[in-house]
Amino acid sequence: MSVAARNRATAIGATLVVAGMIGLTAASVPLYRLFCQVTGYGGTTQRAETVPERVAGTPVTVLFNADVAPDLPWRFRPAQRRLEVLPGEQNLAYYEAENRSSEPVVGTATFNVTPHKAGIYFHKLACFCFEQQTLEPGERVEMPVSFYVDPALLDDPSTRDVRQITLSYTFFVDREATEALRRRRVAATGS
């Protein structure tokens, strides 16, 4: 094999390695999110379609937390700080968000549960997380979260001592969506 052919093979190999690394990087966030949703790792809650038939008589306190990234001009808070819930019982809680800027802003929320070991037993039936939320200037909205705590929490030796769970959301600005919204509005108004 000539030197030119070896150099060409090396360049192709290096290009394929770089392309593979870029592909893995792009896939890592959705794959990690899927892994966390399936396993409850890192306090990730589960998604559910229905509520279990069994309701346990031992109450659990659910605390609600809200955070906003520093560059998002929103006020975001839970409408209630805590709820006493029975495992297996469907519950509804609300968060409130307000855009305090003079421009429309798009935000996206992430969430987690602490203690982390309780994540697989916290099931959300409906939620605003991972969905873009667009708030107009000064707009205030209520965002519901429908959930239940799986009664199996009380049967698992590693979680049977858990009597308090914190559901925490953090909102981040979606810069790309906010900029696209701004461009569409400028194009529509011509200014």
Domain extents in the chain:
1-39, 43-184
Please check the confidence at residue 43 and state whether its pLDDT lies above 90: no
Tell me the average pLDDT across 156-177. Answer: 95
The rounded mean pLDDT for the chain is: 85
Higher pLDDT, 179 or 49: 179
Query: What would the DSSP string read from start to end of 112-160?
Result: EEESGGGGGGEEEEE--TTS-EEE-TT-EEEEEEEEEE-GGGGTSTTTT
Question: Is the torsion defined by CA of 118, 119, 124, 130 positive or negative?
Answer: positive
Q: For residue 29, is pLDDT > 50?
A: no
pLDDT at 25 over 80: no
In the chain, % of residues over pLDDT 70: 81
pLDDT of residue 54: 75
Distance CA 95, CA 103 (A): 21
| Per-residue pLDDT at 135 exceeds 70 | yes
Which token pair is 89? 């019982």
Residue 45: alpha-carbon gap to chain centroid:
9
| 12-16, 18-22, 89-93, 94-98: least confidently modelled range | 18-22
Fold of 43-184: Ctag/Cox11 (Pfam 04442) (2.60.370)
Q: How far apart are CA 100 and CA 180, in angstroms?
A: 20
pLDDT in tens, 67-104: 999 999 999 999 999 999 999 999 999 999 999 999 99
Dihedrals phi, psi of 56, to nearest 5 degrees: -90, 150
